[in-house]
Structure 1
Amino acid sequence: MDDAFSEAPLLVIAENEEEVPEVLRTYNPQSDNDGEISKKAIFGYSLGHIFNDMCSSMWFTYLMIYLEKVIKMRSWRAGLLMLIGQVTDGIATPVIGLISDSSILPQSIVKFGQRIPWHFVGFIMVTFSFPFVFNGCLLCKPDTSENWSLAYYIPLVMAFQIGWAGMQVNHLALIPTIAEQESCQRTLSTSRLAASVLANLTVFIILFIRFTLDSEDTIGPSDLTHFRSLALIVVGAAYYIPLVMAFQIGWAGMQVNHLALIPTIAEQESCQRTLSTSRLAASVLANLTVFIILFIRFTLDSEDTIGPSDLTHFRSLALIVVGAGVVVTLLFYILCREPPPQHYGEHLTVYQARLNPKEYLKMPRFYTVAIIYMLSRLYAAGLLYFKLPHWIIYITAATMGIAQSLLLTAAFAFCNFLIGADKSSSAFIYGSMSFADKLVNGIVYQIIELINPSCNPHVEHEECAIFYRNIMVFIPGTCALFLAFFGILFVASRIRIQISVAPFNENNQNILLNGQRNNS
């Protein structure tokens, strides 16, 4: 870069082929922020999704077993309930993303940040709905039909899924907001996955202890009243504490421009960013996080492991999950702060071609990333097809955990790549990616339950073991093959993004429109 450029303030343009650049925000070159984020911020961010992870771990691992074995709900009704939840989640996720990217929040709330208020709304919904799902049907009697029981659970499941989606999308959208450098974004992504490991591990350890020590406990009417009261106390306290904490930390001025945060000047000196095979491999391998315990439940040899007497375990675990989740989420609100905007002084004006959702839906690479993200949520389980000694099961579970970690890390990297400099649409991108994931999973759940050879929970069938073994092997295995194909196709495309740098000139902004895309 010549002397004229090096001495003058710089103006950064994110060039787009179809859109005319528009002013997004000003940036102060005298800022002491070098793009790095503190360990405190990383730790605080990693806590923001632990509550969701603990709930989802219990939800996807034990909800179907809970409904069929504890509540004694028929398989097709349990599958329908899961489908309703997944469809609700799938629809709510992109909608919440669009709302989060918008500027509808009043100024009095925006001072807390653009993403954190919506994250907090989701937190409240999850806190109020989740305990009651695993607390039995409070309005049902022993002779209540399954249809009425299903009607009781539907609004609870929908409220939980909407709240869960709100926390997930806005937590992911914080990555490009609070981290400007790509390496810092990867650090936040992997810290999020590491926290997810701890959340899953905590849930499984609690279940293991409960089933090991209290497997002979039975439940009575007095126990139901006790756990119901305890759940209301925990949830009631959880409502007011984060509300007070959120207003206390709001005085730090966590306002952030809802449109975007830009990459740092050091990154802008590179006029081209390429997603090469070597970079992708380095990104994935450097941020490896292992879900070792995630599939230990596959070692269960019988459907009779969990029965009606274990209802008290699910109630206790639901309360523990909510209690622990409230604590870590409060720490997230305290430690993780959205950066304030820069004001006045010597500044840079950022011109960026901002895409709206309709334009994203016209981009082929948008659907490529969506497919990669969706398939990354499923993973191969080929070894489960064979009868193996128990000790090999643990090795298989560890291998699958490594594979899932690699795929999820790559999926987040693909999403961040698609977002690029357009941070204003980050919530919509993550929401759209999650839409296909949730919808497909819900449909698959329902199909599995409909073709289940033992749809009546009161009747045992030996062929169920073979049925579920084939399901856990061939569906993820097929998805893994498609994932490999689309992953290779994506990397081979080697998409390049041009970033132009020009001197700032208040009187003549036409120079900003001269950037050209390098197609070489």
Structure 2
Amino acid sequence: MAKETVDDESCGQPLGRCSVFYYGVGHMLNDVTSACWFTYLLVFLTDIGLPPRDAAIVMLSGQIADGFTTIFAGELIDRYGRFKVWHAAGSLLVAVSFSSVFGGCLPCKIIGSNSSSMRTISYSLFAAIFNVGWAATQVSHMSMVNCITLNSTSRVVLASCRNAFTMVANLSLYAVAFVVFNINTRGSIIDVENQYRWIAFTSIFIGCCFVAVFHLGTEEPRLKLEAHEIGHVRISWTYWFSKLLYHQVALVYVLTRLVTNVSQALLAFYVINDLQMTQSSKALVPAVIYICSFVVSILLQEITWTGERLKALYSAGGLLWIISGAGILFLPSGMKVLMYVLSIVIGVANALMMVSGVSMQSFLVGEDLNGCAFVYGSLSFMDKILCGLALMALESYQSSIPEVCNCPHPSFHFSVTRYGLGLVPAICALIGVVVTLSMKFPEPTLTPLIDPLLA
């Protein structure tokens, strides 16, 4: 009993800077590959000749595999723990399979068929395998937050630190992409495949280095294992479904992921096709967004968090995205330089929404640790499926409806991409703000970090 008291007290203490850092880098491989997935997958597949509808099928297959794996992994983690084992296995699968998503069609070469159907099946298969590993890593890493510490402020700081390193991962990807797009010029389909193969291999190398740091620096949380040993019963799914806050947090999280994923997937199409910017802008514009997100995420780590502050900051981010959506919708190609200004606003909005949106899950879980993996898994399931369906619908509509010029100026027209990037995230942000303002969070223990991160 004395040992349990000591463990409870230690878990309730705020975390030091090193512990926060080691945890924060644990999702870098997932983040860098996810950035490549959402930013360049549809562009890559259409550049090598796949119709937009088939490209959307490839992405949807990955999203579906990801969504169902989150449920499966969340259930097993809640039963048996072993976060780092799941994290390592998932990371290995991601590293092995990701290069095949952006590589050539290996089954096409083996079978001797280069038909559109064969390529779609091949890329869909590797996309599904990649997302199975990605989901296992994500659920195990997110679930660790509530078992590393019982301190509410430290949990939010961990989420904020993870978001900051998400920005680092994205910036690393876009730096690599900028170099590749400028050195290796586009020509044939082989040249395009080589471009993205270099980006994929470099991303995997960077991510694996940080995965090694995470596993060497972070200990397997003992709290969940000890809870099973002393007879705590695993929390039933029905417990979460009966809580209004679960449904509110789930809706806000899904809407937030729709905002970030849909905007990220359509951004490259928008800057190239609608604004007529250079090829390097496919890396520069997202880089500006993530630099701003990174700075804001770092600053958010110094805040003492309450439920009211979560709601206020999420609402601020949502309002900024609504403003950005209006700007994207009406920005003519003759004023393309203003896209960099909009990128700054989008970066700030993304950071505010993601940090507060993910932190809401920690407030929801509280001390109900034996069901936390189900919470993260179920919310991620809804996020992946709905994002996949949304992108599938946008791509299918784009392939079947010709773009219509509704403006007499030749440098401006309302394309499907412009509607999707301008309206869909803005509407999702508006709904998210409305739901957030209706939430009632339990008040956390207000305890700062042992070592300020900006000291």
TM-score relative to the length of structure 2: 0.74
Q: Following TM superposition, by how much is the alpha carbon of 1:98 offset from its aligned partner in structure 2, in angstroms?
A: 0.7
Q: Following TM superposition, by how much is the alpha carbon of 1:308 offset from its aligned partner in structure 2, in angstroms?
A: 6.0
**Distance in 1 separating the partners of 2:37 and 2:436:** 29
Q: Does 1:466 align with 2:431?
A: no
Structure 2 counterparts to residues 137-176 of structure 1, below 5 A? 137-141=105-109, 144-176=114-146
Q: Of residues 55, 58, 78 in structure 1, which corresponds to 2:36? A: 58
Contact 1:90 1:438 in 2 (8 A): yes
Deviations 1:483-508 (A, max 9, x none): 11111111xxx355899xxxxxxxxx
**Distance in 2 separating the partners of 1:156 and 1:343:** 34
Q: Following TM superposition, by how much is the alpha carbon of 1:33 offset from its aligned partner in structure 2, in angstroms?
A: 6.7
**Distance in 1 separating the partners of 2:377 and 2:65:** 13
Q: 2:158 — aligned with what?
A: 188
Larger strand proportion of the pair: 1
Q: Does 1:41 align with 2:9?
A: no
Q: Following TM superposition, by how much is the alpha carbon of 1:354 offset from its aligned partner in structure 2, in angstroms?
A: 5.6
Q: 2:55 — aligned with what?
A: 78
Q: Does 1:100 align with 2:77?
A: yes
**Distance in 2 separating the partners of 1:159 and 1:353:** 33
Deviations 1:154-211 (A, max 9, x none): 2211111111011111111111111221111111111101100011011111111111
Larger helix proportion of the pair: 2
**Distance in 1 separating the partners of 2:23 and 2:157:** 11
Structure 1 residues 419 and 144: CA distance shift in structure 2, 3 A: same
**Count of aligned pairs:** 368
Q: Following TM superposition, by how much is the alpha carbon of 1:131 offset from its aligned partner in structure 2, in angstroms?
A: 0.8
The amino acid across from 2:205 in the alignment is G
Contact 1:28 1:342 in 2 (8 A): no
Q: Following TM superposition, by how much is the alpha carbon of 1:26 offset from its aligned partner in structure 2, in angstroms?
A: 3.1
Q: Does 1:390 align with 2:336?
A: yes
Structure 2 counterparts to residues 343-492 of structure 1, below 5 A? 355-379=235-259, 380=321, 381-387=325-331, 389-453=335-399, 466-490=415-439
**Distance in 1 separating the partners of 2:101 and 2:175:** 21
The structure with higher relative contact order (CA 8 Å, sep 6+) is 1
**Distance in 2 separating the partners of 1:30 and 1:137:** 52
Q: 2:195 — aligned with what?
A: 313
Q: Following TM superposition, by how much is the alpha carbon of 1:434 offset from its aligned partner in structure 2, in angstroms?
A: 1.0
Structure 1 residues 442 and 330: CA distance shift in structure 2, 3 A: same
Q: Following TM superposition, by how much is the alpha carbon of 1:378 offset from its aligned partner in structure 2, in angstroms?
A: 3.3
The amino acid across from 1:329 in the alignment is V
Q: SS in structure 2 opposite 1:378? A: helix
The amino acid across from 2:330 in the alignment is F
Show structure 1 runs of 5+ residues with no match: 1-8, 11-24, 104-112, 220-306, 500-520
**Distance in 2 separating the partners of 1:438 and 1:406:** 21
Q: Following TM superposition, by how much is the alpha carbon of 1:339 offset from its aligned partner in structure 2, in angstroms?
A: 4.2
Contact 2:258 2:428 in 1 (8 A): yes
Q: 2:64 — aligned with what?
A: 87
Contact 2:252 2:432 in 1 (8 A): yes
Q: In terms of Rg, which structure is larger?
A: 1
**Distance in 2 separating the partners of 1:34 and 1:160:** 36
Q: 1:197 — aligned with what?
A: 167
Q: SS in structure 2 opposite 1:135? A: coil
Aligned-residue sequence identity (percent) comes to 26
Structure 2 counterparts to residues 103-122 of structure 1, below 5 A? 103=80, 114-122=82-90
**Distance in 2 separating the partners of 1:29 and 1:331:** 25
Q: Of residues 116, 126, 129 in structure 1, which corresponds to 2:97? A: 129
Contact 2:102 2:196 in 1 (8 A): yes
The amino acid across from 2:337 in the alignment is W
TM-score relative to the length of structure 1: 0.65
Contact 2:91 2:134 in 1 (8 A): yes
The amino acid across from 1:46 in the alignment is G
Give the aligned CA root-mean-square deviation in angstroms. Answer: 3.0
Contact 2:65 2:132 in 1 (8 A): yes
Q: 1:241 — aligned with what?
A: none
Q: SS in structure 1 opposite 2:391? A: helix
The amino acid across from 2:252 in the alignment is I
The amino acid across from 1:433 in the alignment is L
